[in-house]
């Protein structure tokens, strides 16, 4: 599922990300683009807040997966979002981790072209809902969607509420029940 990170690995990746952000800010300030530097700082602040909310879902393995996935340079970027304050998803951690990992695997093997691809997992703690939104073109859309539906159908605690597929976007929303 996920790589076993050492403390040094984690610190190296986190430091690398922070240095990249600081270099962007510094470069924009040196070019007298103070508004852009402020925008980047606000983006970094919001990203840090989002990472904090993800870390507080009471799902340590899933949180680690979401926070470190993009460090391994997959074609599909994975993002986590929490609407409102963090909640307790501990009862569903194994299913959510398995579902997210399987979806990432299917999507990484089903993309076409060299555009940007993303999968966003959105948590709604108040209602115990989770949605998955994929943006990008799929090489074999029908087969990929079938694989995705099979992944979702294996989990008894995930009741499908809504789904739709557009030209380059797939959306699935679930109610979690114990």
The average pLDDT across 36-64 equals 94
Q: Does residue 59 belong to any structural domain of this protein?
A: yes
Query: Is residue 66 within 8 Å of 120, Cβ to Cβ?
Result: no
**Which is more confidently placed, 99 or 2?**
99
With 0-12 / 13-18 / 19 or more C-beta atoms within 10 angstroms meaning exposed / middle / buried, residue 158 is buried
Query: Looking at 15-29, 60-74, 97-111, 137-151, which range is the least confident one?
Result: 137-151
Sort residue 142 into left (φ over 0), alpha (ψ -120 to 50) or beta. alpha
The average pLDDT across 83-110 equals 92
Confidence of residue 2 (pLDDT cuts 50, 70, 90): low
Question: What does the pLDDT read at residue 55?
Answer: 94
Question: What does the pLDDT read at residue 101?
Answer: 95
Q: Quick one: tokens of 81?
A: 């979002």
Question: What does the pLDDT read at residue 132?
Answer: 94
Question: What does the pLDDT read at residue 4?
Answer: 80
Q: Does residue 118 belong to any structural domain of this protein?
A: yes
Sequence-ordered strand ranges (E) for 1-150 = 76-82, 117-124, 129-135
CATH of the domain at 167: 3.30.565.30
Question: What does the pLDDT read at residue 168?
Answer: 82
Query: Is residue 62 within 8 Å of 97, Cβ to Cβ?
Result: yes
**Where do runs of H (alpha helix) occur along 31-140?**
34-55, 60-68, 93-108
Q: Does residue 88 belong to any structural domain of this protein?
A: yes
Q: Does residue 50 belong to any structural domain of this protein?
A: yes
DSSP 161: E
Domain hosting residue 98, numbered range: 7-176
What average pLDDT is seen over the chain?
90
Nearest residue to 49 via CA among 83, 9, 23, 97: 83
Q: Quick one: tokens of 142?
A: 């029908």
Q: Does residue 2 belong to any structural domain of this protein?
A: no
Q: 126-159: per-residue pLDDT in tens?
A: 989 999 999 988 888 888 888 888 888 888 888 8
**Which of 121-134 are b and which e, b meaning 16 or more Cβ less than 10 Å from the residue's Cβ?**
bbbbbeebbbbbbb
Q: Does residue 56 belong to any structural domain of this protein?
A: yes
Q: Does residue 152 belong to any structural domain of this protein?
A: yes
Q: Does residue 129 belong to any structural domain of this protein?
A: yes
What is the number of structural domains in the chain? 1
CA dist 176 and 31 (Å) reads 49
């Amino acid at each position: 599922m996920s790589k076993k990170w050492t403390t040094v690995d984690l610190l190296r990746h986190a430091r690398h990300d922070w240095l990249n952000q600081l270099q962007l800010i510094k470069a924009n300030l040196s070019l007298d683009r103070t508004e852009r530097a402020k925008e980047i700082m606000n983006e970094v602040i919001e990203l840090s807040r989002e990472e904090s909310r993800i870390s507080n879902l009471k799902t340590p393995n899933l949180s680690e997966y979401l926070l470190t996935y993009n460090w391994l340079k997959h074609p599909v970027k994975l993002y986590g979002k929490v609407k409102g304050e963090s909640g307790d998803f501990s009862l569903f951690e194994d299913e959510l981790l398995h579902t997210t990992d399987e979806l990432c695997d299917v999507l990484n093997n089903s993309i076409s072209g060299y555009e940007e691809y993303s999968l966003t997992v959105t948590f709604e703690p108040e209602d115990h809902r989770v949605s998955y939104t994929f943006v990008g073109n799929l090489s074999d859309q029908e087969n990929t969607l079938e694989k995705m539906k099979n992944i979702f159908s294996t989990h008894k605690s995930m009741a499908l509420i809504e789904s739709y597929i557009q030209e380059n976007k797939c959306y699935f929303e679930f109610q979690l029940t114990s």
